[in-house]
Chains A and B, each alone.
Chain A
Amino acid sequence: MARDFAADILDPIAGEIVTNVGRWVDREVKPQASEFEHADVYPDPLVKGMSEMGLFGIKIPERYGGLDLSFECYAGVCMELARGWMSLAGIINTHVLVGYTISEYGTEEQRQKFLPRLVEPEIRCALTITEPDAGSDAQAIKTTARRDGDDYVINGQKMWVTNGQRAGVYLALTKTDPTAEPRHRGMSAFLVEPGIAGFSVGKKFDKLGYKGVETTELSFDDARVPASALLGGKEGSGFQHVMSGLEVGRINVAGRGVGLAQAAFDDAIRYAQVRVAFGRPIIEHQAQQIRLAEMATKIRAARLLTFDAARKKDSGVRSDLDAGMAKLFATEMCQEVVLDAMRIHGGVSYSKELPLERYYRDAPLMVIAEGTSDIQKIVIARALQREYPV
């Protein structure tokens, strides 16, 4: 199985784009990713390269200056970026997700205000749902937004905000009616621009992996935003809007799982052919053959599931089932494949001189963020229940 992700892309132009991004990854990202990662510095030159290629405008509609490419194309791009360095696919994730949410659910004024600025990008985006006391149970958030004249006043504490220091707009999930039942009916999302009184970015987390890109705390302390910052201009739809955006995030993370696993596999199959043990290359030992065959099969399955979910999203229908399955399978698979690649490399995999230790530290994030695997299973099961009414 060649690593050529484009081979499974049905649209030829999308395929060419993914191939070109892959070339960029090979030449610009692979050689320096570990260095950036170990230093935990923001990869400015790589983000500049992504921007010059036009990746940040990939999902912005053409009428706002974007490229309006398919989710199929986007999934392939995420695979390629993560094959070089998972953090790059993370940097683009919240940006694309928030851009998508604005273009789908924003008012025309919000679209015109933000979308053209996301293309270059003049500004980047963060999504902030999670709080100290609410993660998986997103409806349990405590941040409130209270209407006050022409404004809303936001109060609360947010956690784990990817792109937290660099974002020019934060899509923040709040409660405009904390007493509403069901809880989601009282939830609203706001497009918050930094620099306003009462809004502050807190500490940057020191993470196991997913380095380079910053993840921070955030606090709202009587932060006042105009009513025009309410996504879609209507209270009570925030949860649904953000969940729809998360389908895009799940396609991204599934793609990341595939890309990272592919990187580990590419290293492993090469190493298995040159490393000799007991008189023959280790690939000639059946235990390693079985391992490599299983790795490749799982990667391929995840890749097809991911493209399938992306195409479903492209078709405009609800795709939480498909995105959930892809995210669940691809990320769990990625953890297993990375560990298998380490087993194949033996001791040397434990050295910081090879990228495997980075893959090993990056993989677990994906089974947690954007909805844990447990949550994906709940999403999948609920969607299945809808499909099998009794």
Chain B
Amino acid sequence: MRRRRPSESVNIIVCVKQIPDPETPAASFKVDEAAKKVIPAQGIAPVVNPFDPQATEAALRLRDAAGEGKVTVISLGPDSARDAIKHALAMGADEGVLLNDPSFEGIDNFQTAVALAKAIQKIGAFDLILMGRSAADWDMGVVPAGVGQLLGVPVVTVAKAIERNGGAVKVDRVLDDGFQTVETPLPAVVSVSNEFGEPRYPQLRQIMLAAKKTVQVWGAADIGMAADELGASGRWLPLDALYVPKVESNVEIIEGETPEEKARNLAQKLRAAKLI
């Protein structure tokens, strides 16, 4: 593991993911139960995972506070995931890497963490790895921990504020009922929550500059992943079934001579159904 270089310059890697639009209307959300896959909704373009621009925003602020440094964006996904990288580049990130290979299809969170960790090792020196707190498609939130574990660096999750002091960062974490402040030496992995605040909108000039930045594309072989680590067969977490839950509703009219009697009958029904 390479340690932080002594200068103030900061090297940050941001992992971003492209996901189906979480605003997809329920009627358009369909699952192929046999293939255990979500069928992309027609006419609804995939989007950047909503927490990821916040991670990018955090990276840009830390880079700009340091005065120099580099923000590299990685995304693992199909060709279209290039758009998620482009979005981060348009916000002001410096470089992009797309991990794209047919054998990445259907992999689980752990395999994703392995691929990201290997790509990060290939990139080389880094001070900080930032990610969204979870991806709004599967909502597992385990990739940051996996990458930290694989790279042997500390992991801090659900950050609402990140402040760098030389070779360490102070992170305010969001808890259910308050906040917690922790400090960790660098390099480290930090996952960023929506409480971090609104990410910037890309400026037109940055969008123009981003178009000139090249996005490197690495396949499985480029990051040294073996075939048996990949594909749905290499999953650590085999997917048993995928389905949209069926919601059934029944209407029952509660009878009774008087309002009081109706209320009593309703209460009895609810108790029988163990709802009260």
Interface residues of chain A, those whose CB is within 8 Å of chain B, are 2, 4, 12-13, 16-17, 20, 23-24, 49, 52-55, 57-58, 67, 69
Contacts and interface: CB of A to CB of B under 8 A. Distances in A.
Nearest to A13: B211
B208 A20 contact: no
Nearest to B47: A23
A57 B43 CA distance: 33
Indicate the member of A16, A52, A57 with the most B CB atoms within 10 Å: A16
Interface string B196-209: 00000111110110
Contacts of A12: 211
Given A24-B201, A53-B201, A54-B203, A67 B90 contact: no
B43 A54 contact: no
A17 B204 CA distance: 6
Interface of B is mostly: helix
B201 A17 contact: no
Nearest to B91: A20
Contact of B208 (A4, A23, A67): A67
B81 to A, nearest CB: 15
A29 to B, nearest CB: 12
B207 A17 contact: yes
Interface string B55-86: 00000000000000000000000000000001
B205 A67 contact: yes
Interface residues of B, number: 13
Interface of B: 43, 45, 86, 90, 201-205, 207-208, 210-211
Contacts of B211: 12-13, 16
Given A16-B210, A17-B208, A53-B202, 6 more contacts: A12-B211, A17-B204, A52-B201, A55-B204, A57-B204, A58-B204
Query: Which of A17, A23, A49, A69 has the most CB atoms of chain B within a 10 A radius of its CB?
Result: A17
Given A2-B43, A20-B90, A13 B201 contact: no
B202 A13 contact: no
A174 to B, nearest CB: 35
A55 B201 CA distance: 12
B206 to A, nearest CB: 9
Pairs A-B, 3 closest by C-beta atoms: A54-B204, A13-B211, A54-B203
A16 B43 contact: no
Contact of A53 (B45, B204, B210): B204
Contacts of A17: 204, 207-208
A23 B201 contact: yes
A16 B201 CA distance: 13
B272 to A, nearest CB: 35
A54 B200 CA distance: 13
B43 A20 contact: no
30 contacts: A12-B211, A13-B207, A13-B208, A13-B211, A16-B86, A16-B90, A16-B207, A16-B210, A16-B211, A17-B204, A17-B207, A17-B208, A20-B90, A20-B204, A20-B207, A24-B201, A49-B201, A52-B201, A52-B203, A53-B201, A53-B202, A54-B204, A54-B205, A55-B204, A57-B204, A58-B204, A67-B204, A67-B205, A69-B204, A69-B208
Choose among B90, B202, B207 the residue with the greatest number of A CB atoms under 10 Å from its CB.
B207
Given A16-B86, A16-B90, A20-B90, A53 B203 contact: yes
A233 B180 CA distance: 66
Contacts of A67: 204-205, 208
Contacts of B202: 20, 53
A87 B86 CA distance: 30
Contacts of A69: 204, 208
B201 A20 contact: yes
Nearest to A68: B208
Contacts of A23: 201
Nearest to B202: A20
Nearest to A16: B207
B215 to A, nearest CB: 13
